[in-house]
Structure 1
Amino acid sequence: MGKRRKNNLQLTFNILPIDEKATRRAVEEYLETVRQYRQIGFVRREAAVTQAYVYREHQTTNAISKQTETIAVYNVDKEAELKEKDRLLSLAMERLSSVQREVIQRSYLDNEGEFDYISCGEMGVSDSTFRRIKKEAVSLLAMQLRLAKWDEPKSNMVL
């Protein structure tokens, strides 16, 4: 066994005021969005035209509803956003070590929904080591994807 290398970026995480729960939640939501996009692609919205046979009294708000325009803009913007998220995640995953990449892939991006203890056995690592690697990888992804949530500074002043 060789000496375990620490990434310089990992050493600074301990001194930064990061809210770990909120950061982990943000990264998991990001990874789940990308996983769904990779698995099923983008589902476009379509305009629904339903005729009503009841007379509706309209108010004079002068507001115009542009349903088709709104849906078209949403479809274009959302698909571009999902493609960009996928691209950024691919770039961030390339910067992780091979073990960290495998842990993130197995835990979040594979569609099989495998339990962590099964992944531990297949990778040949202990449960605590797996959790440590996963925590480090999520922290690195949070910084690379700019998803880190910062703790609110606590004021020491008493009013």
Structure 2
Amino acid sequence: MAHGDMAGQSLAWTDPNCPVARAVDVIGDRWSLLIVRDAMDGARSFTDFQQRTGIARNILADRLRKLAAHGLIAQVEAPSGKRRVYTLTAAGKDLFPVIVTLRQWGERHAFEAGEAHSVLVDEHGAVVPQIVPVAADGLSLTSDTTSVRRRT
């Protein structure tokens, strides 16, 4: 949402000039990211999200409304036509690299050595390789080799 208007509420951006701050304002809480993760993994109904996350119904309803207001999910008719289900929009699907990067960071830093955890695999069963930002010339980028250019 270009103007920060969410279902009639004005959203005060944490830092109106920073794309990271704006993104965190929209999807930065734990539940929103887990809902997006589960939608990417096939969750479609309110019950699906509640069972997968263990989130309280009122918090889930609030986060689904927020994600819909920001254009990350939408409600569509279920194939059966008996109810509506949630689906990721193009903007929601654009979060895939963010979810993968968070997952990979978690694999490296949130588990003890040898501790069991799930892994992300491609359609052939191969573990998804580490995501590494690269420059136009193909060289790896890090926080040491990049800087933020402020626009006035």
Q: Which has the higher contact order (CA 8 A, sep 6+)?
A: 1
Q: Which has the larger radius of gyration?
A: 1
One fold, TM greater than 0.5?
no
The structure whose residues are more often helix, as a share, is 1
